[in-house]
Amino acid sequence: MDSEPSTGPARHYDRGGWLAQFTGHILVVCPRCGGCALVLPRPGLPERKYVNELLYQPRRLACRECGAVTDWEPEVRDAGLAAAAPGGTEDPFFRRPLWLQTRCVGQILWAYNEEHVNELSAYVGATLREHGASPKRAMLTRLPRWMNRSDNRSDVLAGLEKLRVLAQRSAPADRSDAAHERGDRPQPYRALYFRGGPYESTS
């Protein structure tokens, strides 16, 4: 027997996840052709144990349109590898404009990938929002005020739907007019990964 559909408020429970958890793969604008390129951890890396390791893993940018490929290594600082700093409209590794950007209520709405879009949609669309543990770097507690306003909800959800459609496209002609460099980078993390670990370059 089918259960009755819920008539209660849409709920979202925030478990305090970091923005870093969505950096496993990032859609960016290709530096060569302007199409959609993908930023991923380089092949052959050891399996990670913690989410924050994503900020230290060497990366590869590969374009699905023109075949461009380039690599990134974490910065060596003092006794360790410096963490990349996620946030803003550029990817934290190659500093390329994000592919998923659109204009929304006079602001720029962005996401790293479709999973990120889905999480934002679930939160923005909820009329009842519950927060569990809220660590300092929790993503949803740090969203800009305009995304949290109830009178912006329908516009933000429409913008997220545009990003969801963009995630399925890759040609240079599909690029959003909002997807360009702004230099809106966050302050770098001061966290270090101990030298000699699995992500240190041996070249």
Pull the structure tokens for residue 151. 């009178």
Q: Convert the pLDDT of each residue in 4-19 to its tens digit.
A: 444 455 877 777 788 9
Average pLDDT over residues 36-51: 93
Q: Convert the pLDDT of each residue in 19-40 to its tens digit.
A: 999 999 999 999 999 999 999 9
The residue type of 60 is: R
**What burial class does residue 160 get, using C-beta atoms within 10 Å of its C-beta: 0-12 exposed, 13-18 middle, 19+ buried?**
buried
C-alpha–C-alpha distance, residues 124 and 47, integer Å: 33
C-alpha–C-alpha distance, residues 37 and 31, integer Å: 9
Average pLDDT over residues 76-102: 92
Read off the DSSP letter of residue 199: T
Segment among 70-79, 100-109, 147-156, 171-180 with least mean pLDDT: 70-79
| Closest among 158, 32, 40, 26 to 99, alpha carbons compared | 26
C-alpha–C-alpha distance, residues 115 and 81, integer Å: 27
Bridge partners (DSSP) listed for residue 40: 60
pLDDT band at residue 135 using 50, 70 and 90 as cut-offs: low
pLDDT band at residue 76 using 50, 70 and 90 as cut-offs: confident
Q: What is the predicted pLDDT for the residue at 137? A: 65
pTM of the model: 0.86
